Structure 1
């Protein structure tokens, strides 16, 4: 883009996206991330695997956000220009206003959907500010309930064209003149190229201290399942998701954990986020929470699971078994109804439709029943309203959602924190893409925590729910063990 084109865009946009493209056939997203990350600054790497286990077209990297927004209950912290401001304000009210006032950008058709914006996580305990009748747990709460960084400059890997798109978003009102704004954007792109060309040394030094702890008392959990079934029989709820927490100590760099997870459990949402206080969010989630793109709101509820077959015949048998499992169908139907109701709160009347119903989608290790619900966002709402209407997902709480969450607080001894929350982004056009934070770890102070849940309905068998918890937790355990033996050091590349 030349300066005349920049000036033309400035007549109708307050944020202008500058970009350059370079060849990327000799560098991977993980290596590029290691080159641009800066310890002590927030950074992220987002990747995705889509149908047939192929890497999706784009991977995204960002480092050094302009602003970091975090909250604990209704206490909001905003870090900008090395200065922290605290407010007593609802996170969602703040985000709704911030997006409405600042996120107005028209993107080129040559660019990926995400070109910068807010990136991070929103934790489960934010239920307390969405629904006051459900008090957030206070036991074992993390330092903050959410943390989002505002990234103006990112890298986008185009895996189809083997290119890296260097992207920077220039806020023209932050500069004394358009010339200054244009020059600053060009300098940002030049700095990115310098970082990508530098040599690095990275030693694979992750070590797991194998003292995995859990609050998972098998017998107690089975008792809880029966108590939940009693609540179902009494008509208090139709379904509930109970989870258990696991804890391990570690040493070294956690990038190997991400590398291991993306190999063992490739998923539509794969993420490595590092925060300034050396906390980390690392995961490979298979499940969307909600997407908003140009007023179209999409949910993809997942409920119903079988492992993949070792032969074609076994695969077919398991798929048929899943499609005819009345427990799985009942659970999925309830969550489908819940999803329609959630979208109905923010979408135009009669626009909410079930586009796909209970299709079998196959992932690396399991197959799921997946549906697709779409609606058109009402003109009075934006993407934050859509997120709030759907959060937390019914697939990690149960139905009716509020009553299920109250019982979760009763039966689970500790805070969920990031588990069952959301990870994703809101771009400068106001679009949103988030996943449910499952198959996800949170690490801080050399301690890793993760959780796994089981959906309980009227005919649940307690022993089977225990097995479901174990199987889901095993994905993370396998990745942690594999991360220790990834022996490739990255040096001078």
Structure 2
């Protein structure tokens, strides 16, 4: 993380989404679909997905994040997440955590950077003047976390479709950084392993041209020998390593519980 901060101080980037990978040995007899159902029960999410990619990879995702939705009429929506706080059983503590998140200058700045990046991505394939931000820093609460979520909308240009939209926006701004290409180069340099399916996108495309897609976070990748979990967060100039580590552990808690490996 210190190297990311050095790049920020040098002016290379404003933000990078830096992640850490957790590996567990796959136990004999592990049922990957049962593991997905357990993860989904622990952490219900609007973009949960299970993918059987063959004997060498299965993906169990409990993602809360929409990447891009495209309607048959050409209406586009993306919902970047930046800003996280844990949920609490005590209502007063839970409300205080949510209020602190909404008021956080750092988290709002992170969210704004990525919202602006996505405005730019969508603008490349959208009708001139159609890009809007109807919601900025909206609070959304899930089973184990509160998030700040913004909403960016647009109208796709005539003659373009879902594939053009994905080409303009992949990979998602919330899991790369700003500027996107330089952030990706730094991530490639500093992260110790390739992300694989993690931080990619799961999508469906309809015969009418409609599409919806997720960002593949809060996910377990199951291989013949290993189960992989990964989490991270947006690093900005005033990020504190201890706080970023705590946020990462909040994000990965459900995956560790599903594996039965949580120590807390």
Q: State the TM-score, normalized to the length of structure 1.
A: 0.51
Residue 245 of structure 1 is matched in structure 2 by 21
Query: Which aligned pairs between 1:7-406 and structure 2 lie closer than 5 A?
Result: 225-248=1-24, 249-252=26-29, 253-277=31-55, 279-294=57-72, 295-406=74-185
Give the C-alpha shift of residue 338 in structure 1: 0.6
CA gap 1:427/1:415 in 2 versus in 1, 3 angstroms: same
- For the Cα contact (< 8 Å) 1:441–1:449, is it kept in 2? yes
Alignment of 1:461 with 2:202, yes or no, is no
Give the 3 Å change call, closer, same or farther, for CA 276–419 of structure 1 in structure 2.
Answer: closer
1:431 corresponds in structure 2 to: 210
Query: After alignment, is 434-443 or 267-276 more displaced?
Result: 267-276
Q: Which runs of 5+ in 2 are unaligned?
A: none
- The question of whether the paired residues in 1 share the 8 Å contact of 2:85 and 2:247 is answered with no
Report if the CA contact (8 A) 1:306-1:322 is conserved: yes
Greater Rg over alpha carbons, structure = 1
For normalisation by structure 2, the TM-score amounts to 0.93
Match among 386, 402, 413 for residue 192 of structure 2: 413
Offset at residue 453 of structure 1 (A):
1.3
Q: How many angstroms apart in 2 are the aligned matches of 1:368 and 1:426?
A: 27
Distance in 2, matches of 1:302 and 1:410, equals 24
- Residues 250 and 448 in structure 1, CA contact (< 8 A), matched pair in contact too: no
Provide the residue aligned with 1:117 in structure 2.
Answer: none
Shift of 1:390: 1.3
Cα distance in 1 between the residues matched to 2:205 and 2:188 = 29
| Aligned-partner SS, 1:231 | helix
Q: List per-residue Cα deviations over 1:422-475 (Å, max 9, x = no partner).
A: 112112222111100111122122321121112100000112222222332322
CA contact (8 A) 1:229 1:458 kept: yes
What is the CA-CA distance between 1:382 and the residue it aligns to? 0.7
SS at match of 1:428: coil
3-state SS of 2:99 partner: helix
Secondary structure of the corresponding residue to residue 321 of structure 1:
helix
d(CA) in 2 for partners of 1:472, 1:309: 14
Q: Aligned equivalents of 1:357 and 1:329: distance in 2?
A: 9
Native 8 Å contact 1:289 1:390 kept in 2 = no
1:251 Cα offset (Å): 2.4
1:445 to 224, 235, 246: 224
Tell me the equivalent position of 1:178.
none
Q: Give the distance between the partners of 1:444 and 1:368, measured in 2 at CA.
A: 30
Greater RCO structure (CA 8 Å; 6+ sep) = 2
Q: Distance in 2 between matches of 1:474 and 1:319?
A: 18
1:250 partner SS: coil
1:251–1:446 CA contact under 8 A, matched in 2: no
